[in-house]
């Protein structure tokens, strides 16, 4: 028996540190003067001779014309003006979809997202986070499309189990969040945070911030119990419920983690922890 169940996975959008060092080197020039020579001392005889001294005129020193060296004037080099950085264009919420897709695509190494991301991504994401923090699954307001394929079960003579092939429906979402390393998350979140805060302010909350709601949503998801072995279900009207009462009492968003399967869930939770580290260190 197969039955479609709408579910959703959250993508976490979010990874910038620039440092400059200037070094200045100065040189010192030493100046040295040569000392003037001491004057020669002439001693006169005791008895002057009445001889008319013949004073030979010393030849006038031959003038040697030194070549004239023309010194070119020192021209200071014109300063090289670095181009002024152009201010980034202001991105409005109404026109933020293309920008948001570019930020995410750069962070996930070009993973194709056009067929998965919806419109009004930022606004839908903050609403989805707000609902998730309260345990609700806002499928109609998800910023990302629902899983492809059908939810399926395996029936035996005595029980119904979740078909493990259904886990593959969540492979793309697990791959998406796994692509976000710590640096990519920090850079993405830093770029998108002003838009996220603005969109969250539209919800009118005065007692909490977007960061608090995102933290609450992550903490709730990370509290989802781990299920070992096959997941037993019971048929209920046109849908299925978990046979284990404790699992059935979980919040709707927590049930999605169980339907992902252990492998995809591990990737998703690792991404949530990286995201939590990023937002708490901003």
How many Å separate Cα 73 from the centre of its chain? 52
Name the pLDDT band for 244 (thresholds 50, 70, 90): very high
Q: What does the pLDDT read at residue 43? A: 42
Q: What does the pLDDT read at residue 132? A: 95
* Residue 110 near residue 194, CB atoms below 8 Å: no
Tell me the pLDDT tens digit for each residue of 178-191.
888 888 889 999 99
Work out the number of other CB atoms within 10 angstroms of the CB of residue 173: 23
Instruction: Say whether pLDDT at 255 is over 80.
Output: yes
Tell me the pLDDT tens digit for each residue of 221-242.
999 999 989 999 998 777 899 9
Tell me the pLDDT tens digit for each residue of 133-170.
999 988 888 888 888 888 899 999 899 999 999 999 99
Q: What does the pLDDT read at residue 226? A: 92
Tell me the pLDDT tens digit for each residue of 97-140.
999 999 988 888 767 787 888 899 999 999 999 999 999 988 88
Q: What does the pLDDT read at residue 23? A: 32
Q: What does the pLDDT read at residue 269? A: 94
Which has more confidence, 230 or 32? Answer: 230
Which has more confidence, 29 or 72? Answer: 72
Q: What percent of the chain has pLDDT above 90?
A: 47
What residues does each domain of the chain span?
93-280
Instruction: Say whether pLDDT at 203 is over 50.
Output: yes
Q: What does the pLDDT read at residue 32? A: 31
């Amino acid at each position: 028996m197969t039955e479609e169940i709408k579910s959703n996975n959250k993508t976490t959008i979010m990874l910038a540190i620039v440092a400059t060092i200037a070094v200045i080197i100065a040189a010192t020039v030493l100046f040295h003067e040569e000392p003037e020579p001491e004057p020669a001392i002439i001693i006169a005889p005791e008895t002057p001779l009445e001889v008319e001294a013949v004073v030979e005129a010393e030849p006038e020193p031959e003038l040697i014309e030194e070549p004239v060296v023309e010194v070119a004037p020192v021209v200071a080099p014109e300063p090289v003006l670095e181009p002024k950085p152009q201010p980034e264009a202001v991105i409005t919420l109404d026109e933020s979809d293309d920008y948001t897709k570019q930020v995410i695509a750069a962070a996930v190494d070009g993973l194709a997202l056009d067929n998965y991301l919806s419109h009004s991504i930022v606004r839908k994401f903050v609403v989805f986070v707000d609902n998730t923090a309260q345990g609700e699954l806002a499928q109609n307001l998800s910023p990302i499309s629902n899983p492809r394929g059908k939810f399926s079960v395996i029936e035996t003579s005595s029980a119904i189990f979740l078909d493990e092939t259904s886990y593959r429906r969540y492979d793309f979402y697990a791959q998406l969040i796994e692509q976000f390393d710590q640096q990519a998350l920090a850079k993405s979140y830093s770029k998108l945070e002003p838009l996220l805060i603005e969109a969250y302010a539209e919800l009118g909350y005065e007692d909490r911030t977007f960061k608090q709601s995102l933290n609450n949503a992550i903490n709730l998801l990370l509290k989802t119990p781990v299920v070992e072995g096959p997941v037993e279900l019971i048929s209920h009207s046109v849908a299925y419920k978990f046979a284990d009462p404790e699992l059935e009492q979980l919040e709707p968003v927590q049930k999605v983690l169980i339907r992902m399967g252990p492998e995809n869930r591990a990737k998703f939770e690792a991404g949530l922890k990286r995201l939590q580290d990023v937002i708490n260190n901003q």
